[in-house]
Amino acid sequence: MTDAIIEITGLKKTFRSGDVDVHALRGVDLTVKRGEFLAVIGPSGSGKSTLFHILGGLTPSTDGRIVIDGKDMSHLSDSERTALRRHVVGFVFQKYNLLPTLTVGGNIEIARDIAHRTGPFEEQFLEVLRLLGLDKKLDRKPRQLSGGEQQRVAIARAIVNHPAILLADEPTGNLDTENSNAVLDVLRGLNKKIGQTILMITHNPEAAAFADRIVKMRDGHLE
């Protein structure tokens, strides 16, 4: 098995805005190793969010090649892309997107239901819940949690199906410094203790510093 879990070659993305072509990505090359915590940092409009959405199979590329966990995305059907999002990639966004009427446990179970998984949480995931500080809060509603705790629930939901890669898009964007650091500590802990591969998109150098490696994007290029 190769050490590379993500291999990107010559990735391009062009959007049409009226009569103008907007080149969001201009030939990106990037390799991410299995078990790595990588931060992609750049200002608004640099192309980092476009990269995130293409990696997650949420939008197609215009040109180039992406191989994720041995799967060439250019050869995947729509149903295979859906399966990739359910089983290979986990997503954490700036907004927690928790359902207020459900408990912490209920919000996490939704991801299992979508992936057609049943039964109680495995011991490995219960250990993850303890690492996230959520093992004794499964019966609480989102309104009873701090912003940092709600983001930790979103992280738990993203990794409950054991994805090969966790994609995090500005995961601390809605949090104050204390809660931001707590969430970033959790991400780093997941990476170090269970070997979770993480690719985090951020504009914040202090957040990026929690990663093993930082790459910078500007004007659709990796610097």
CATH number, domain of 194, equals: 3.40.50.300
Per the listing, tokens 């409009």 go with 45
Give the structural domain span for 95. 35-60+77-211
pTM of the model: 0.91
Q: What is the three-state SS of 103-131?
A: CHHHHHHHHHHHCCCCCCCCHHHHHHHHH
Q: Spell out the per-residue pLDDT of the chain, length 223, in tens.
A: 469 999 999 999 999 888 889 899 999 999 999 999 999 999 988 999 999 999 998 888 999 999 999 989 888 888 888 888 888 999 999 999 999 999 999 999 998 888 777 777 778 888 889 989 999 999 999 999 999 999 999 999 999 989 999 999 999 988 999 999 999 999 999 999 999 999 999 999 999 999 999 999 999 999 8
If one counts every other C-beta atom within 10 angstroms of the C-beta of residue 126, the result is 12
Q: Are 165 and 68 in contact (CB under 8 A)?
A: yes
The answer to whether residue 193 is domain-embedded is yes
The answer to whether residue 93 is domain-embedded is yes
Number of folded domains in the chain?
Answer: 1
